[in-house]
Chains A and B, each alone.
Chain A
Amino acid sequence: MTWLHFLPALLKGAEVTAIIAVVSTALGGLVAFVIGVARVEGGLIVSKIALVYIEFMRGVPLLVKFFWLYYALPLIGLSLDPITTGIVGLVLNISAYGAEVVRGGLQSVPDQQYEAARALNFSRAYTLLHISLPQAIVEMMPAFGNLAVQNLKDTALVSLISIADLTFQAQQLRNITLDSTRVFTLTLVGYFIMALALSLLVRLIEHKLRRGPAFPKAAQ
Chain B
Amino acid sequence: MIYGFAYDTSSTWAYALSILPILGIGLIVTIEAAIAGFSIALVLGLIWCLLRRSRLTIVSWSTAAIVEFIRDTPLLVQLFFLYYVLPDYGVTLPAFLTGALALGLQYSAYTSEVYRGGFDAVPRGQWEAATALNLSRYKIYRDIVVPQAAPRIMPSMGNYAVSMLKETPVLSVVTVLDMLNLANMIGDRTFEYLVPLSLVGLIFPVMTTLCSFGIHALERVLPKAGLALR
- Which A residues fall within an 8 A CB radius of B? 55-56, 58-65, 67-68, 71-72, 75-76, 149, 153-157, 159-160, 167, 170-171, 174, 180-181, 184-185, 187-188, 191-192, 195-196
Contacts and interface: CB of A to CB of B under 8 A. Distances in A.
A75 B192 contact: yes
Contacts of A55: 205, 209
Contact of A170 (B77, B88, B183): B77
Contacts of B193: 67, 71-72, 75
A96 to B, nearest CB: 11
Contact of A65 (B76, B184, B194, B201): B201
Contacts of B173: 160
A153 B85 contact: no
Contact of B198 (A68, A153, A195): A68
Interface of B: 69, 72-78, 80-81, 84-85, 88, 166-170, 172-173, 180, 183-184, 187, 192-194, 197-198, 200-201, 204-209
Interface centre among B74, B81, B173, B207 (most CB of A within 10 A): B74
**In the complex, the 7 A-B pairs of residues with the closest C-beta atoms, listed nearest first:** A59-B205, A156-B74, A195-B72, A180-B84, A71-B193, A153-B74, A156-B76
A61 B74 CA distance: 15
Contacts of A181: 85, 88
Contact of B201 (A60, A154, A184): A60
A63 B170 contact: yes
B73 A67 contact: no
B29 to A, nearest CB: 14
Given A60-B205, A75-B192, A196 B72 contact: yes
B181 to A, nearest CB: 10
A91 to B, nearest CB: 17
B90 to A, nearest CB: 13
Contacts of A75: 192-194
A60 B84 contact: no
A182 to B, nearest CB: 10
A184 B86 CA distance: 12
Contacts of B88: 180-181
B197 A167 contact: no
B169 A63 contact: yes
Contacts of A63: 169-170, 172, 180
Contacts of B167: 61
Contacts of A76: 194
